[in-house]
Amino acid sequence: MTTKTYKRKSGRKNDELRSPILAKVGIIPNADGSAMFQIGETIAIAGVYGPKKMHPQHSQNPSKGTLRCTYNMNSFSVEDRIRPGPSRRSTEISKITEWALEPVLMIDKFPNMVIDVHINIIQADAGTRCAGINAAAMALAHAGIPMKDMVSSVAVGKMDKTIVLDLDKYEDSEFEDGEGSTDIPVSMTHAGEITHLQLDGKIKPEQLKEAIEMAKKACDEIYEVQKKALKDSLNFGGEK
């Protein structure tokens, strides 16, 4: 049973996404596909390069292409400067991003090739992996990579006993009352198939179900924003 004792500092309803939610496609002229996604204070940009021949040759896969994601949180993305370069966290999130996106990509059309996706977090206030996945999914579509569906991503969580949507930095890392904070980033296709789910904390199965239902509704909202941004990128100022 969900109790309603937790009151959000931000004043948001428990099932309310942060605002603004902004998306734009085609932001990096040199990339084959690109996009930005902002939710609240978190901003991600993604650039897609390829498909191109995989080098070195021994890394080539003759039966399908390789999706290679590189997640990076910029030094200036948080108040205390982050040490530049890869970390255990960025390596984990890069892998997670590949797993979240690969199920919708028709990657078997690109044997021996690699599709590189570079995700940069230029401002971070929690939920950066989800924002990165949202930006990357749009950038892949913009690059013309054949996809079976779009992927949308959001974090749900549990503050003490209350299920909430789209955790901010305080909720993600600072809230400690009662049972504390449980963070559950989820990515899903528009058809509702989950491609990624992480769970950091404790939650009962029935509350996890409730959280996933909440995430599904939110992913529908995010999908509409992604779709509009992609449509707008095709509309060269004319009627469409």
Q: Site residues (CB under 6 A) for ligand ADP?
A: 78, 80, 82, 89, 124-129, 169, 172-173, 183
Between 78 and 113, whose beta carbon lies closer to ligand ADP?
A: 78
Between 55 and 88, whose beta carbon lies closer to ligand ADP?
A: 88
As measured in angstroms, the least distance from the Cβ of 172 to ligand ADP is: 5
Closest CA to 193 of 158, 223, 229, 157: 223
Kind of pairing, strands 113-123 and 66-73? parallel
Q: Are 129 and 44 in contact (CB under 8 A)?
A: no
Residue 201 one-letter amino acid: G
Residue nearest ligand ADP (C-beta atom):
128
As measured in angstroms, the least distance from the Cβ of 228 to ligand ADP is: 24
- 74: buried, middle or exposed (CB in 10 Å: 19+, 13-18, 0-12)? middle
DSSP alpha helix (H) spans, the chain = 88-101, 128-142, 169, 205-234
Between 115 and 131, whose beta carbon lies closer to ligand ADP?
A: 131
Between 80 and 176, whose beta carbon lies closer to ligand ADP?
A: 80
As measured in angstroms, the least distance from the Cβ of 32 to ligand ADP is: 26
Between 96 and 107, whose beta carbon lies closer to ligand ADP?
A: 96
Beta strands of 96-193 (E only): which ranges? 113-123, 151-159, 162-165, 181-189
As measured in angstroms, the least distance from the Cβ of 76 to ligand ADP is: 11
Q: Are 142 and 33 in contact (CB under 8 A)?
A: yes
As measured in angstroms, the least distance from the Cβ of 238 to ligand ADP is: 38
